[in-house]
Amino acid sequence: MKPNFLFQIVFLFIFTTSQAQIQKSPDYETAKVQAKNQNKDILIVLTGSEWCKPCVKMKKNVFENQEFIDYASQSFVIFEVNMPRNWDMNSKVYQDYAFFKEKYQTNALPSLILLDSDEQLKAVVSEKLTSFEKTMETLKKLK
């Protein structure tokens, strides 16, 4: 087998078996502009996806589910605030977390904050987020 042909087979295998990932806005200001331009809601995700057990389950059961990825890409601009295990209170991530936590009165991780494209609050959801079915049901009702 020629090396180039082997490379093509390996690339095709990796490409076809890799799962699409959810697209996230790099910062909140960009998310606001994208939501306005695309006429989509803003979904702010407060998470600790590497250390918070419910956050890890939400990531695995919901955010890595292809049906959710497809729905979210059509419906939302996603801005994620993913808190690291060792918080640095001077970091941008912590400042974003503290801002959204206070503004929308949520103390739970994970939490989903749903805003319309004009930044008007639709809902804060912090329960049953580890269940794909419950999360989808909730988000579809709010949409």
Domain containing 52: what range?
Answer: 22-142
In sequence order, the 6+-apart residues with CB closer than 8 A to the CB of 1 are: none
Asked, for residue 26, whether it belongs to a domain, the answer is yes
**Identity (one letter) of the amino acid at 39?**
N
Neighbours of 48 (CB within 10 A): 19
Number of domains in the chain: 1
Q: What is the value of pTM for the model shown? A: 0.85
10 located within any domain: no
Domain for residue 4, yes or no? no
The answer to whether the beta carbons of residues 20 and 69 sit under 8 Å apart is: yes
We report the CATH number of the domain holding residue 109 as 3.40.30.10
List the structure tokens of 124: 């804060």
- Tens-binned pLDDT, residue by residue, of the chain (143 aa): 555 444 444 443 444 344 578 999 999 999 999 999 999 999 999 999 999 999 999 999 999 999 999 999 999 999 999 999 998 999 999 999 999 999 999 999 999 999 999 999 999 999 999 999 999 999 999 98
> Is there a domain that residue 8 lies in?
no
